[in-house]
Every structure is written in C-alpha cells, then in structure tokens.
Amino acid sequence: MTAVSVRDVSIAFGMLRVFDGLSLDIEEGEFVVLLGPSGCGKSTLLNAIAGLLDVSAGQIWIDGRNVTWDEPKDRGIAMVFQSYALYPRMSVRENMSFGLRMARTPKAEIDRRVTQAADLLQITHLLDRRPDQLSGGQRQRVAIGRALVRDAGVFLFDEPLSNLDAKLRNELRVEIKRLHARLGKATMIYVTHDQVEAMTLADRIVVMKEQKVQQIGSPAEIYGRPSNLFVAGFIGSPQMNFVRGRLEAEGNRLAFAAGRHRLPLDAYAFSDRPEPGREVVLGVRPEHVEPGASGVWPGFTIDIVEPMGADTVVWCSDGTETIQVRTSGTRRVAPGEGLSLGLDAAQVSLFAADTGERL
C-alpha cells in the first residue's frame, strides 16, 4: 500500500518555479532517502510533503488521503529538524508532549506515549532537563522522541544528523535504522546530502540535482548501475573513475577504446544497443579495477599511495589517464611501480558523452 504519494507536484516561489510536475510514490514501511547536494530541492520537497510549504500544482496523498490542503498537524506526519528545533525553556517532557497537549490528548495517554518514546530512545533520565542542558546527540534524540509521540504513520527527517560530529552521527544513524526496524510499519522520508547515510539507511534512494530527480532505486542499484554521470560521480568514495573514449565495432561485437586501451563489452548489459563510433565515458569504481602484472590495460605507473587501514587507494597513471584503484590494505605497493589494470566489462558503467545518460 502506498503511504505517501506525490502526484505531479509543482512548487513555485513567486515567479521562480522550483519543481515542475514531480511524482513519487512511497510504500508503507519504506525508508526513502532524498539525497543530493545542497540546493537540489530535497528539503523543499520534504517541506511540501509536511505541508509547511504550499504546492502550486498537483496533489499530495498520505495514507490514502488527499492532504494537499491540510494543515501539517492533520497530515499524520511527524518531523525531525536539522537544528533540532526543540522548544527552549521547556523540559524534555514538555517538549515531547506540547503537541499532544495542544490537541487536548488525555493526560494518561500523553504520559504513556512519552514514557514509551523515552524508553525506546533511552532518554528517560533526561525527561526533566531542559534542552540547553543537553548535548547535541541528546537533543536530537529528544527531537526524535517528540516526533515519536505523535504516533504518526510517516516520519520526515530533514538532515537530522548534519549538526553532529562524526562519531555521534554514526551512533544516531544506527539508532534511526534500529528505530525503523522496531516501528515496523512506519514510513520514513529522510533528507540528507551524506551518501553514507543514504546508502546505509535507505530502502530506496531518490538522487536529486537542481530540482530534478536523477535516479530512484535501491542503494545497490544506485551504486552499481548509476543512471547518469552525476549519480555516478556523486555516490561512492573514492569517486568512480571516468575515462573518455568511443565505441568501436569488432566484427559484430562492441568494444570501448580510449587511446591504446580497449575493453570488449560483451559482458556489458546495454539498455539499448548503441551505434559504434559513439563518444562515451566509461565509469569504473576503484574496487572494480584489478591491479596486477597482467591486465587488459598495461602501462600504468603508481603515482601516490593512500593507505586507509582496511584498504589502500592507489593512484596510477599512464600519462593521459589517472585511475584510482582500491586494493586490500595488506597489499604492499610503492610509488613508481609499473602496473597493469584488469577491468571487468560486467562491472563498468557506460555513459553517453553528450547527454551523460547511462547506455
């Protein structure tokens, strides 16, 4: 069943159109991450779903109801903000119950929900503190708690971890994932610019850029089969290697050619078999390059070695192309060594050089 459905939505700020006819369906219980660089419109979309922003055309459905004109409080949503947005000078308990008190929920029910949420987030001991007495991580837990007590079917997260340091970010990320699993049917829509959060949390990722959806898919799809050059470059660290070249015909087989390097593409799954002679960009992830004494692309020299512990990133070059290779951290390599690169056509991506779209 569809929990949230964005149907042909346009949003405009004055004369400036931000979205034009955007549609998105989100299943019940799904964890969807809206991912993109700042200014891509992901937060705008989230605010529109929340009802904090009017759409200028289209509809928004939540839980089978058309809520396009409904107030945020009537949409069955809860929201967590980047700046926590805790009400200052109210205790944690008051923060969590403020909305329920506004809705004149019976006191016993308020207590029950607050206790339950506090339990779930392990903030029971903080209930009587005030936000300015809490650390950043605790504040965000409280903010999540405030969302939990609303008993909403849909949770909206607007970059909730961006204000935290790296360690806390990891902790809370896991916490949110656990929470999603525990709540079972809760639908979560999560906005972030952090690809690690997106990859680890999402059932589905919506990659956005400049107010356009670039790709919607599972983390594995987004990572393994990026639909265009932007997605390919945006996801993955170290970045995917890109090599410009062209398609050449070898009999009735196709091969990628860049300078003296060639790669037969028999194993590549084209969506649409293209014409030979086409200008293309070959993308290959660093871990999909096999360095060794023999490989399809010989003649590389190691430039720089970046040991990262678990693995090592090796930058190597043949004078025209620079390729990053990810190898095991135990492998000993030194700058200056000669190298051949092994590539597997099944694991590379090919993009049209002109449009940037995946072939």
List residues near other proteins by CB under 8 A: 47, 50-52, 54-59, 66-74, 77-79, 81-90, 98-99, 102-103, 132-133, 146, 150, 158
The Cα angle at residue 183 between residues 75 and 139, in degrees rounded to 5: 75
Q: State the Cα–Cα distance between residues 67 and 75, nearest whole angstrom.
A: 6
Closer Cβ to other proteins, 133 or 320, answer by number: 133
Least separation in angstroms between residue 87's CB and other proteins is: 5
User: Which residues lie across from 263 on neighbouring strands?
Assistant: 256
Least separation in angstroms between residue 193's CB and other proteins is: 17
Least separation in angstroms between residue 90's CB and other proteins is: 7
Closer Cβ to other proteins, 84 or 351, answer by number: 84
Least separation in angstroms between residue 336's CB and other proteins is: 41
Closer Cβ to other proteins, 88 or 277, answer by number: 88
Angle between helices 92-102 and 107-121 (to 10 degrees): 140
Amino acid symbol at 67: V
Least separation in angstroms between residue 308's CB and other proteins is: 33
Q: State the Cα–Cα distance between residues 99 and 267, nearest whole angstrom.
A: 57
Residues with Cβ within 8 Å of residue 99, at least 6 apart in sequence: 73, 146, 149, 150
Nearest partner of 341 among 264, 261, 280, 270, judged by Cα: 261
Closer Cβ to other proteins, 89 or 182, answer by number: 89
Closer Cβ to other proteins, 57 or 168, answer by number: 57
Question: Residue 6: what are its φ and ψ, rounded to 5°?
Answer: -100, 115
Closer Cβ to other proteins, 52 or 179, answer by number: 52
Task: Estimate to the nearest angstrom the gap between the alpha carbon of 328 and the chain centroid.
Answer: 26
Q: State the Cα–Cα distance between residues 191 and 200, nearest whole angstrom.
A: 13
> Tokens at residue 221, please?
């799809």
Least separation in angstroms between residue 110's CB and other proteins is: 13
